Amino acid sequence: MPSQELRIGLIGYGFMGRAHSNAYCQVNHFFDLAYRPVLQAACGRDAAAIHKFADQWGYRSVETDWRKLVERSDIDAIDICVPNNLHAEIAEVAAARGKMIFCEKPLAVDVHQGERMCQAVERAGVRNMVWYNYRRVPAVTLAKHLVASGRLGKIYHYRANFLQDWTISEDLPQGGTGLWRLDIAAAGSGVTGDLLAHCIDTALWINGPIADVSAMTETFIKQRKHNLTGRVEPVGIDDACAFLCHFANGSLGLFESTRYARGHKALYTFEINGQHASIRWDLHNLHRLEYFDHRDESAVRGWRDVHVTDAGGDHPYMNHWWVPGLQIGYEHSFIHQVADFLESLADNREAGPTFREALETQKVCEAVLRSAAQRQWVNV
């Protein structure tokens, strides 16, 4: 085990708190690194719940006030896993205390807060990263390498979807634990910041900047009981969003996200069409990358279904796992992100996406929401 500790202070203990904690626990078992994350403190307002969480994951201590956590001299990095409206303030104070910061996506509720967060980490000179984890699914990383190598030729189309169905019931309340994603005050937006942000981050990473967007959004259920007030209140989030865009490289983009696609739980897919070749990927089959190359001999030309599990070959990250042919899953994308961060720390490099990079995604999200509200094309 490496001797250099990176002492983590985790704030928030929901779904993402678990995904990140698992990554910290696993990373040194599979990657040879100079640093070792240590579960130093977990923080949450509910004392009983945070103690239970800390026991379950092996955190050394507990705090119930994030301000106390960021003041502690035995914490090197703060991991923000709380609702979106709390990211900015925590990040600003943590940066001023000289802490490295890992922040859940989206970076913030809007560009203004995101800018403040970027300025705070840059002013303080602290390392920072946002958990857009899908970049580190081996098949997605492979897609990035294939496009960057020029194998697809000029890119014409980028198409992405993120479809779910968990908010269809009119009886589902908004707000509070587990349901803050439906509360505009906590989330900042609906599917745009929660789901399309993933699609946009991957797209910017693989296909470059987006120049302008034309979007539509819909809120299907207009009122829901609010768990924090007990009253029926208007729903402010977008339940569904679709947009067209132009990428700076001349390609056209088509994005759709909804929580009303009955039958789909987390169907994140993308397809990229280039002059010579196309690729497509599907989160429900995350270890596969489909590839079509027009330059193949016509007798055998067709879509190839690449099982991205070649541990001894060119498949990203897979040499750290099992033998060729055995696959990994969702949680590994977080482990890879921690591994990349720790490697970059040792080499004195940055690991993306940084706050600055994630701000670009935030700008696209904001342009999308503005375009939908104004019913016109908007420059990013």
Of 127, 225, 213, 131, give the one whose Cα is nearest residue 171. 225
Residue (40 or 164) nearer to ligand SOE, CB: 164
- Closest residue to ligand SOE using C-beta atoms: 194
Q: Which of residues 59-118 bind ligand SOE (CB under 6 A)?
A: none
Q: Which is nearer to ligand SOE, 76 or 194 (CB)?
A: 194
**Longest Cα–Cα distance in the chain:** 67
Nearest to ligand SOE of 258, 371 (CB atom): 258
Q: State yes or no: residue 194 binds ligand SOE (CB under 6 A).
A: yes
Write the binding mask 108 to 147 for ligand SOE: x where contact by CB under 6 A, - elsewhere: ----------------------------------------
Q: Minimal distance in Å, beta carbon 164 to ligand SOE? A: 6
CA 186, CA 358: separation in Å to the nearest integer? 19
Nearest distance from C-beta of residue 194 to ligand SOE, angstroms: 5
If we measure between CA atoms, which residue out of 200, 205, 272 comes closest to residue 243?
Answer: 200
State the minimum distance, in angstroms, from the CB of residue 85 to ligand SOE. Answer: 15
**Pairwise CA distance, residues 371 & 364, whole Å:** 10
Q: Which is nearer to ligand SOE, 263 or 312 (CB)?
A: 263
Contact yes or no for 251/157 (Cβ under 8 A): yes
Comparing CB distances to ligand SOE, the nearer of 198 and 287 is 198
CB 183 → ligand SOE: shortest distance, Å? 13
Give the Å distances, CA to CA, from 247 to 61, 110, 155, 172: 47, 22, 10, 37
Q: What is the footprint of ligand SOE within residues 210-269 (CB under 6 A)?
A: 266
The number of residues in the chain equals 380
Helix (H, G, I), strand (E, B) or coil at 51: helix
What would the two tokens of residue 288 be? Answer: 């596969």
Q: Give least dist CB 198 to ligand SOE, A.
A: 6
Residue 138 beta carbon to ligand SOE: minimum distance, rounded to whole angstroms: 17
Of 178, 233, 189, 183, nearest in space to 215 by CA: 189
Report yes or no: 79 and 114 within 8 Å, Cβ to Cβ: no
Helix extents (H) in the chain: 15-30, 47-57, 66-71, 87-96, 111-124, 138-148, 184-187, 191, 197-207, 330-346, 355-374
Instruction: Output the smallest distance, CB 15 to ligand SOE, in A.
Output: 6
Q: Closest distance between ligand SOE and the C-beta of residue 181, in Å?
A: 6
Nearer to ligand SOE among residue 194 and residue 340 (C-beta) = 194
CB burial of 340-360 (b: ≥16 within 10 Å; e: otherwise) equals bbbbebeeeeebbbbbbbbbb
Nearer to ligand SOE, 62 or 266 (CB): 266
Q: Looking at beta carbons only, is 258 or 278 nearer to ligand SOE?
A: 258
Residue 256 C-beta: closest distance to ligand SOE, Å: 15
Q: Does 185 bind ligand SOE (CB under 6 A)?
A: no
Q: How far is the CB of 266 from ligand SOE (least distance, A)?
A: 5
The interface with ligand SOE within residues 149-168 (CB under 6 A) comprises 164
Q: How many residues bind ligand SOE (CB under 6 A)?
A: 4
The helix/strand/coil state of 288 is strand
**Contact track, ligand SOE, 340-369, x by CB under 6 A:** ------------------------------
CA-to-CA distance for 339 and 68, rounded, in angstroms?
A: 28
Q: At what angle do helices 15-30 and 47-57 cross, to 10 degrees?
A: 20
Paired with 304 in beta bridges are: 291
Rank residues 122 and 165 by Cβ distance to ligand SOE and give the closer one: 165
Nearest to 218, CA basis, from 194, 191, 196: 191
164 vs 309, beta carbon nearer ligand SOE: 164
Chain residues in the site for ligand SOE (CB under 6 A): 164, 194, 198, 266
